[in-house]
Amino acid sequence: MTTGGTEPVDAASEEVMFDLAGGERKKLIQLCLYALDRARSAGVAERIVDGLAGVGVVPVRPDGQRFDPAVHEAGGTEPTDDPALAGLVAETEVVGFLDHGAPVRPPIVTVYTLREGIG
């Protein structure tokens, strides 16, 4: 590999540049999520989400899935009388994001819990 000129770049320099670019990517993603969380316009929020998706950063909304504390953060509970719903995600409070499958931010969710005295 060469830089802008004709001199070759050694493998160690290439690895340093790759690590630097990866760190800068993470910072830019975090900045975009910060802006998304504060966007007052639905159009602006949609544009940020679409832009992130274009570079492999996708939203995670696990509504209806089984709650998994390894990948979801519980923000609250919703009582239910239906045992089939207990332990499922009732709604996503804060959307999570994955960067090419790697977690960037876990979704914060409300989880159905069986109302006391049921079951």
pTM, rounded to two decimals: 0.78
Give me the pLDDT at residue 7, please: 64
Q: Are residues 11 and 65 in the same domain?
A: no
Are 6 and 36 members of one domain? Answer: yes
Work out the mean pLDDT of the chain and round it to a whole number: 91
Q: Do residues 109 and 74 lie in contact, with contact meaning Cβ atoms separated by under 8 Å? A: yes
- Span 29-40, mean pLDDT? 97
Q: For position 19, what pLDDT does the model report?
A: 72
Q: Count of domains in the chain?
A: 2
pLDDT surpassing 80 at residue 68:
yes
Structure confidence at residue 79 (pLDDT):
97
CATH number at residue 65: 2.30.22.10
Q: Which residue has the higher pLDDT, 13 or 30?
A: 30
Alpha-carbon distances of 89 from 9, 43, 55, 60, 114, rounded to whole Å: 50, 27, 28, 12, 13
> What is the domain range of residue 119?
58-119
Distances (CA, A) of 7 to 11, 12, 20, 45, 53: 13, 15, 20, 43, 36
pLDDT at 94 exceeding the cut of 80:
yes
Q: Which of 55, 76, 92 is the endpoint of a domain?
A: 55
Q: Per-residue confidence at 114, pLDDT binned at 50, 70, 90?
A: very high
Strand order in the sheet with 102-105: 57-60, 96-99, 102-105
Q: Does 62 share its domain with 8?
A: no
Domain co-membership, 5 together with 32? yes
Is the domain of 105 the same as that of 74?
Answer: yes
